[in-house]
Structure 1
Amino acid sequence: MDVKSAFLNGFINELVYVDHRPDLKIRGSLTMLHKALYGLKQDPRAWYERLRDFLIMQGFKIGKVDMTLFTKEVNGDPFICQIYVDDIIFGCTNEKLSHEFGDMMSREFEMSMIGELNFFLGFQIKQVKGGIFIHQGKYCRDLLKKFKMGDCKPISTPMSTNEHLDANVDGKPIDQSTYRSMIGSLLYLTASRPDIMFSVCLCARFQAAPKESHLTAVKRILRSLKHTPSIGLWYPEGAKTLGISDSNFAGYRVDRKSTSGGCHLLGRSLVSWSSKKQNCVALSTAEAEYIAAGACCAQILYMKQSHLDFGVVCGSVPLLCDNKSAAKIAKNHIQHSRTKHIDILHHFLRDHEAKGDITITGVRSEEQLADIFTKLLGEETFCRLRSELNVLDWSNFMPSGKAIQRKTQFLQRPYYPHLKRLH
């Protein structure tokens, strides 16, 4: 549902006076406001407080991690309501409760009931039996048209394996505003396209002084979007949490800092991913992997707290790492001289492993799914990892419900045979 004139529903607690237009013949020069008015800086907070107080009165509980999440349980049926300014997403296992909620909100506020969720904040949502598919196909096509790349030659990967960007001080400079606009647009697209995350973040590091070589790299990313415009995230059923971390040791040529990459899954569903250059220069691969695993652990702890708002209690979450030394540092509770150069900030990973919040588990390098967030990969490896992460092309199995069912059965297989017990 969408709230009409959301900011006009809020009550303001401060004394606010407005002046009149000179042509209005109103007695008195100032008028005191009783409700919010568009243009006030108090508007968003006033609207949120009004909506929050109303939902709490109706028996909803506010999320402890996400303050825009409201949950309620009615006769064993969970009801979830998510707020984004004036757009509201809600759902329940009992369809009758959803209709009652819509009627209740319409009586209190002026609402537009949009119906089943199929488009939200630029995301296109396809709800089918067995799962949900989210993609930004329309946004992707508009992006290619905006930067005049609609007729470009498609390419299968966003970056070549022998393409290593650097500052290129002697290169030909380009228009900074255009380059930044392209990077900003691509960063928003990474919300449903994890496969271009590493490439976009790498190009984003040169926004201060972009050169022609950097623009060529960005255009290659757009050419890869032309090749796969309908790719998105497939979310089948499943709720087992899993974290995967990886790093690219000294992979950034400018300052030789490593790149941390990680992803988090619920069952077969990819719900969180990241690719970020580390703040310090790692002296060994073990240190780089250890720092990356620490960042992955922090996200796992956040997810575990978020699950509590939905009534889900997580036990020890597996964290997959392909570096034996980093795994041993996390499990060893004795501070060795070999690790004294590692900042104490990163050793919280060891504490949470001891508490049982996470379990460091080894994984073979060739089965490391997080490689797609840290390295430049060949076409075969790139496509395989993308498929393993449930980043799929909707057009491949859209026409037939049977095809969707067969695809769902394939995707619900465990990632690694030796980790079948985790699923």
Structure 2
Amino acid sequence: MQEELNQFERNDVWELVPCPPSQTIIGTKCIFRNKLDVQCNTVRNKVRLVAQGYYQEEGIDYDETFVPVAKLVTVRLLIAIAAPRSWELHQMDIKSAFLNGFLNEEVFVEQPKGFQDPHKPNHVFKLKKALYGLKQAPRAWYERLAEFLLHVGFQRGSVDKTLFIKKEKQHLVIAQVYVDDIVFGSTSDFLKDEFVKSMSSTFEMSLVGELNFFLGLQIKQMPDGIFITQNKYAKNLVKRFGLDNKKHMKTPMGTNEKLSKDESGTPIYPTLYRSMIGSLLYLTASRPDISYSVCVFARYQSCPKESHLKVVKIIIRYINGTTKLGILYSSDTNTNLAGFSDADWAGDVDDRKNTTGGCFYLGNNLVSRYSKK
């Protein structure tokens, strides 16, 4: 906790002032957690002092809170571009990132319990920079980081605002931002080192190294390509729903199976069903083999029946036997963009609508896929 407060001092986050009248004073609390690696080993014990932002009122304590978030399709696209060019992807983690964002509003917070100034116990902290827990903190941090990257020569993506590109003659650097995690690659070691040096001189880093874990994706960089999987996430998913000891299934669903609303079936409590579907949808980031079946069962979340739950459990039992599967982005391919689409005419049993699906490749490497009706 003392190290966390020292971090505040180094970043000049706040100043101690007398409690102002007629001002909202926001409380603070400590969040303790263990940071784990891919094998679930404890890497670091962390404590975070956060503001109790639920006391804030829109229009009084903050105005705008929107901040763009990295898309998984952009991450896959970056990997698909890097693999055939044999780029080595790296990642950096900015320490206490939100403490670097500048605030446009006047915000006052209580002194942390147990760490009050003994000579000024009734004073409060006036924030100069953002604090974790504030509604506007993510936006303040993104604006600070984007302003810095644009200042050092990067250009912001026109579609994905978390993608930044810097070109110098025939070389370039690509950086993908997800809050305080940044994935980057370059065609030039000099540009890569220059980027790391400029970031380290402005922000305090807690990690700079080879990319191996990002947004729940386990990433293995090899001479013949880049392999992504969600092995850890898949195992936790199966265990979470109590199906880790059940018999494995060979396929997620039958090829000729036609599903319907099953209006005469026995309804079930929807929360469990929706939780299963939500968990499976995130797993499709590296598992296109279950994309179709998961999207089909996602249609019945409003009123799920026992027949739907039974087949969703079959999907999870299939995952239980295939947790190590993922996507290989081969280095032996071209970079031509290609798409494929197919449709099942009047395939929906309930309303006779067409079911369509498709995918896009960069060479032989999958970038995105979709399924709809």
Q: TM-score, normalised by structure 2?
A: 0.70
- Change in 2 beyond 3 A, CA 1:167/1:52: same
Residues 24-33 or 95-104, more deviating: 24-33
Cα distance in 2 between the residues matched to 1:153 and 1:95: 49
Give the drift of 1:21: 7.5
Amino acid at match of 1:3: I
Superposition pairs of residues 5-404 of structure 1, within 5 angstroms: 5-18=96-109, 26=120, 32-237=126-331, 238-277=334-373
Cα offset, 1:227, TM superposition: 2.9
Indicate the SS of the match to 1:89.
strand
Distance 2:130 2:93 in 1: 18
- Measure how far apart 1:48 and its partner are: 0.7
> AA paired with 2:101?
G
- Where does structure 2 lack aligned partners over 5 or more consecutive residues? 1-91
Contact residue 16 and residue 33 of structure 1 kept, 8 A: yes
Q: Deviations over 1:138-193 (max 9, x none)?
A: 11111111111112222221111342221222222223211111111000001111
Separation in 2, partners of 1:22, 1:108 = 31
Q: Quick one: distance in 1 between partners of 2:287 and 2:357?
A: 15
Paired with 1:85 and 1:128, the residues of 2 have a C-alpha distance of 27
CA distance in 2, matches of 1:254, 1:99: 58
Cα distance, 1:201 vs. partner? 0.9
Q: CA deviation at 1:20?
A: 5.8
Mapped contact 1:203–1:218 kept (Cα < 8 A): yes
Q: Which moved more, 1:98-107 or 1:109-118?
A: 98-107
- In the alignment, residue 244 of structure 2 is paired with which amino acid? G
* Greater helix share, structure number: 1
Q: CA deviation at 1:30?
A: 6.0
**Could you tell me how far 1:275 is from its partner in structure 2?**
0.5
Do the aligned partners of 1:102 and 1:113 also contact (CA within 8 Å) in 2?
no
More strand by share: 2
Displacement, 1:228?
A: 2.0
Q: Which amino acid aligns with 2:343?
A: S
- Read off the aligned partner of 2:248 and give its amino acid letter: P
Verify the 8 A CA contact 1:263 1:272 in the aligned structure 2.
Answer: yes
Which residue in 2 is equivalent to 1:282? none
- C-alpha displacement of 1:19: 5.4
Higher RCO (C-alpha under 8 Å, 6+ residues apart): 2
One-letter identity of the residue aligned with 1:157 = T
Q: 1:285-338 CA deviation, whole Å, 9 max, x = no partner?
A: xxxxxxxxxxxxxxxxxxxxxxxxxxxxxxxxxxxxxxxxxxxxxxxxxxxxxx
Conserved? CA contact 1:136–1:189, under 8 Å: yes
Shift of 1:27: 8.0
Structure 1 alignment gaps of length 5 or more: 278-423
| Residues 352-382 of structure 1, C-alpha deviations (whole Å, 9 max, x = no match) | xxxxxxxxxxxxxxxxxxxxxxxxxxxxxxx
* AA of the residue aligned to 1:39: G
Secondary structure at the counterpart of residue 300 of structure 2: coil
What amino acid is the match of 2:154? Answer: F
Q: 1:29 offset after TM fit, Å?
A: 6.5
AA in 1 matched with 2:106: L
Change (3 A) 1:22 1:106: closer
Report the alpha carbon displacement of residue 270 of structure 1 after superposing the two structures with TM: 0.8
Cα deviations across residues 254-278 of structure 1 (Å, max 9, x unaligned)? 222221211111110110100012x
SS at 1:270 equivalent: strand
SS at match of 2:319: helix
Report the equivalent of 2:4: none
* Aligned positions, number: 277
Secondary structure of 2:143's counterpart equals helix
Letter in 2 for 1:236: S
TM score, norm. by length of structure 1: 0.62
Output the amino acid matched with 2:362. Answer: L
Distance 1:159 1:84 in 2: 34
One-letter code aligned to 1:93: T
What is the rounded CA distance, in whole Å, between the counterparts of 1:6 and 1:250 in structure 2? 51
| C-alpha contact (below 8 Å) 1:131/1:236 kept by paired residues | yes
Which amino acid is 2:308 matched to? H
SS for the counterpart of 1:99 is helix
